[in-house]
Amino acid sequence: MPINAIIRIGLRLENLGHEKITDTVKGTNLRTKINAILPLLGVELSEQQRQISLNQIPLRNEVTHFKALPELWFDAGEKDGSHGKISNKIQEFFKQYPIIEIERQIGTMFDEAIAGLPHVYEATQLFKRYLG
């Protein structure tokens, strides 16, 4: 996940050790990473990147933690179980955020975020000045 990679690099640039970084990444939910940790590191996601990331959380949780409800069939009709409901939610998500747009947003997220970190920007400028 690009967000975890961005956080790992940002925290390493802040001189945190591997164990603390790993604890932070593992122990922090995605909403907190986006709303608190990235801004503390000086990283701002575009509004589209932010919305895609936040809006996929409930779908991810439903699929990952699959709190399955069975489909029910009875003489008066039927009621969708978890599979049907999750499938509908996933279809709605991809209508709102086509896969090509997600790919484009995620593809640029890492490069834009890392390039915007002050230490990385300064290093890039030094590299260009003396070696480029």
Tell the burial category of 65 from Cβ atoms under 10 Å away from its Cβ (0-12, 13-18, 19+). Answer: exposed
Contact 1, 27 (CB under 8 A): no
* Each residue's pLDDT tens digit, 44-89: 889 999 999 999 988 888 777 766 566 666 566 666 667 777 788 8
Does an H or E element contain 127, and which? helix 118-131
Determine the pLDDT at residue 88: 85
Write the pLDDT tens digit of every residue in 97-119: 999 998 888 888 888 887 777 77
Tokens 């919305």 identify what position?
A: 51
- The residue behind tokens 């956080």 is 7
Report pTM. Answer: 0.68
CA distance 79 to 72: 5
Residues 6+ apart with CB under 8 A from 109: 2, 3, 6, 45, 49
**Beta bridge mates, 78:** 73
Phi first, then psi: give them for residue 97, nearest 5 degrees.
Answer: -125, 85
| Nearest CA among 53, 40, 41 for reference residue 106 | 53
